[in-house]
Copies of this chain bind each other. A is one copy, B any other.
Amino acid sequence: MNGQFNVTPTVEEYEFQTKRTPGKTGLMMISIGGNNGTTLCATIIANHHNIIWHTKAGVQQPNYIGSLFRASTVRIGTEPGSGKEVHVPVSDVLPMVHPNDLVLGGWDISGVPMDKAMERAQVLDYDLQRQVAPYIALLGKPLPSIYYPDFIAANQEARADNMIRGTDKAAHLEHIHADIRKFKKDNELDQVVVFWTANTECYSDIVPGVNDTADNLLASIKMSHSEVSPSTLFAVAAILEGEPFINGAPQNTFVPGAIELAEHHHSFIGGDDLKSGQTKLKSVLAEFLVNAGIKPLSIASYNHLGNNDGHNLSAERQFRSKEISKSSVVDDMVDVNCLLYKAPEVRPKGVPIGKGEHPDHIVVIKYVPAVGDSKRAIDKYYSEIFCGGRSTINIFNECEDSLLATPLILDLTILTELLTRVQYHKVTRNAAKQKDFAPLYSVLSLLSYMLKAPLVKPGTEVINSLNRQCNALEGFLKACIGLEGSSDLLLETRIW
C-alpha cells in the first residue's frame, strides 16, 4: 500500500534424500553427427582413452575445462584454525555420473558416419581427430531421424539423407520410442538422457485443441497435425518412456501439452537453448551495470559464425526463434529497477499500459562461412551514468562455438541424472502426517544456469540472473548434504 511493504519472514523445513550412486547412464543426442554431437563424442573418447595430441604450442592433454561439474569448485566453509576458506571440486560434493562413463548414441538426418562427421565439423585439432577417428568410427552411422522441412531452413535439405520413412507422425513417435527402449536394453542402461542438440526449429503455434493439453497433443500426433515439430515428437517419446528430455535449442518444443504430459508421467524435462557464449556474458554484464546503478540505454549484439548452426539460422523463421531466446535476458534486469527504468503506467484495475521504459536491444546473427565454427560476437553497451555522463562498453568475443556448447551438454546431462535421484518431503512435527519422499517436479528449473531461456514451472517467474541461478544451484547441492547455502555475511570479520 502506498508503495510501502510489510515483510514477514516465513520458514518451511524440508528434508532431502539422494540415492547414493548414479546408475549406468546413456546419452542419446538428436543430431549426434552435428558439431556438438561429434565434439562431445570425440572429447569423451579422448578423455576416456587419455589421448594426448600435438599442437604448434606443444603437447595437449584432454580435459573437461568449461564443465561446471568437472572444472569448478565450491566453497564449503572455513578452516577452524586459520579461518581460511575451503573450496572443493563440485564433483566431490555429491556422487555424480562421470562423463567418461556415459554411453553414447543418437539420431541424425545426415547419415555420414561418425568419423567423417567429426571431420566435417572442423572443430577439433587435426592431430586429435587423427587419433580419435578409429574409436569414434565404432559408433557407426547415426540412427535415422525425423525431417519435416517446414521446421528448419531450406538450406538443410542437402544434408537430409537419413530419415525415418513416411509422413505418419504417430509412426515416427513409435519409431523413436522403440529406438530409446532398444538403446537402453542393448546397453543395459539404468537411465538415458535424451538431448536435442539439432537444428533450431521455427516456433510452433500454440493452438487450442492442438497442443495445449496432453491429450490434445497426443491426438494431434495421431492425426499427423502439421504443428507438431520433430523436437516435440522426440520429447514426447522420452516422456512416455519416463526418461529425461533436454532441449538445447531455442524453439518451443515444450508446448503446453508436452509439459502437461511430462507432469502426468512424472517425467523430467528441461530447456531451452544452451547458454554458451554471448548471452551468458550479456546476462552478467547487464546485471553488473544495473547493479552498479549504470543505466543501459542500448545493447546491440552482433554475431556471425560459419558452421551449420549459422547456416540454418540464416533463414528468417529459424533466426526468429533464436532472437526470442536471446532477447529475454535483459528483461528481468530492467523490471527489478524502477529507479532507473520507469515502470509502465497502470490503469485503474492494475493493468499496465505498454511495457515501461526499456533499453533498445537488437540481436543480429549472420552466416559467414569463412570463420567456420569460430563464433565472433560483438556487444555494444551504451549507458547513462551520473548526471548525463555516458559509458560505452564494446566487447569482442571469439570462441569455437562447439567447444563452449559441449561442456554444457555434459553439465546438463550430469545434473539431470543427479536430480532424478533426489527426493524430498516437507517436515511436519506430526509424524502421522509425514508424507513419503517424492521426486522433484517435472520441469527441472535448476538447469537454468546452462540455459538461455529457462523453462520453469508454469506460473513461476523466470530468473535470468546468472548469479542467482548459480546461487540456487549451489544452495540446492549443499542442501542435499545438509549444509546451508553460502552466506557472505562473514560477521566475525566485521565485529570486534
Contact = CB atoms under 8 A, between A and B. Distances in A.
Contact of A56 (B46, B68, B122, B406): B122
A87 interface: yes
A255 interface: no
Nearest to A392: B398
Most buried by B among A88, A360, A370, A471: A370
B459 A300 contact: no
A369 B360 contact: yes
Given A55-B126, A475-B489, A496-B438, A394 B394 contact: yes
Given A388-B128, A391-B399, A489 B461 contact: no
B399 A445 contact: no
A256 interface: no
A66 B129 contact: no
A280 to B, nearest CB: 7
B395 A393 contact: yes
Contact of A489 (B389, B390, B476): B476
Given A385-B66, A386-B63, A370 B293 contact: no
Given A371-B298, A376-B380, A441-B495, A75 B14 contact: no
Contacts of A398: 391-393
A123 B73 CA distance: 35
A488 B472 contact: yes
B378 A403 contact: no
Contacts of A491: 12, 14
Interface stretch (A181-189, A223-231, A462-470): A462-470
Contacts of A57: 122, 372
Interface string A473-496: 001100100111111111111111
Contacts of A389: 66, 399-400, 403-404
A280 B291 CA distance: 12
A453 to B, nearest CB: 16
A151 interface: no
B460 A67 contact: no
Nearest to A444: B494
A19 B60 CA distance: 52
A84 interface: yes
Contact of A386 (B53, B66, B368): B66
Contact of A7 (B122, B479, B483): B483
Interface string A159-173: 000000000000000
A378 to B, nearest CB: 6
Contacts of A470: 291
A147 interface: no
A382 interface: yes
Most buried by B among A359, A360, A486: A360
Contacts of A291: 68, 72, 470
A338 interface: yes
Nearest to A126: B54
Nearest to A469: B488
A65 B387 contact: yes
Contact of A9 (B56, B127, B281, B483): B483
A411 B94 CA distance: 41
Contacts of A483: 7, 9
B366 A362 contact: yes
Nearest to A467: B467
A302 interface: yes
Interface in A305-358: 306, 336-340
Contacts of A370: 297-298, 359-360, 382
A-B pairs, 7 with minimum CB distance: A389-B403, A298-B370, A71-B293, A297-B370, A471-B488, A66-B386, A391-B399
Interface of A: 5, 7-9, 12, 14, 43, 46, 53-58, 60, 62-68, 70-73, 75-77, 83-89, 122-130, 280-281, 284-285, 288, 290-295, 297-298, 300, 302, 304, 306, 336-340, 359-360, 362, 364, 366, 368-372, 376, 378, 380, 382, 384-400, 403-404, 406-407, 424, 438, 440-441, 445-446, 456-457, 459-461, 463, 466-472, 475-476, 479, 482-496
13 contacts: A8-B77, A56-B129, A65-B384, A68-B291, A73-B338, A284-B288, A288-B466, A291-B470, A385-B403, A389-B400, A389-B403, A390-B399, A457-B494
Given A55-B388, A60-B388, A297-B370, 4 more contacts: A43-B386, A66-B294, A85-B336, A127-B127
